[in-house]
Amino acid sequence: MTNNVSKTEASRRDAVLPPVDVIEDATGITLYADLPGVSKEQLNLRVEADTLTIEGEVGLTTPDGLQASHAEVSVPRYRRVFTLSKELDAEKIAAEMSHGVLKLRIPKAEHAQPRKVQIRVS
């Protein structure tokens, strides 16, 4: 158990927290995450129980003998973790990657969709 905890801490240390936008509408949640340098193949999306983990490795093609003189991105990895709420349907998450931006659509479960209640007038 202790071993496990220190491992997670170690893996947490060397990752950048990517900026995100989270928008909710009546039928679900849309999440955008900036992951520049991450290709589709290097993106790792996981849902375990109610935890959503977004992880990505930055893959840059660098010439041999490159010496960095100024680096604002010094860790080649992104990671961000969210806790999903119950009404979201994790089975139906749709993901799309375009120019380093991840777009996730997490729909709400059928039973949580808004429904208009008919009122009968007697």
Partner 1 sequence: MIYRSLFPRDIFADLDRLQREMQQAFDLSPSIRGFGRGGYPALNVGGTQQSVEIYAFAPGLDPNRIEVNIDRGVLTIEGERPNSLPADEKSAVHINERFAGRFRRVVSLPDDADPGAVNAEYRDGVLHLSIRRRESALPRRIEVK
Interface with partner 1 (CB under 8 A)? 12, 15-17, 19-26, 29, 32, 34-39, 59-73, 80-85, 98-101
- Minimum separation from the CB atom of position 12 to partner 1 (A): 6
Q: Which two tokens stand for residue 84?
A: 């999903």
Host H or E run for residue 78: strand 77-83
**How far is 111 from 31, CA to CA, in rounded Å?**
22
- Minimum separation from the CB atom of position 10 to partner 1 (A): 13
Q: Which two tokens stand for residue 99?
A: 């120019």
CA 71 distance to own-chain centroid: 24
List the one residue out of 122, 121, 84 whose CA is nearest residue 106: 84
- Minimum separation from the CB atom of position 33 to partner 1 (A): 8
Nearer to partner 1, 16 or 47 (CB): 16
Nearer to partner 1, 39 or 92 (CB): 39
Nearer to partner 1, 1 or 65 (CB): 65
Nearer to partner 1, 63 or 120 (CB): 63
Half-sphere exposure (CA, 13 Å, Cβ side) for 23?
A: 8
- Minimum separation from the CB atom of position 83 to partner 1 (A): 5
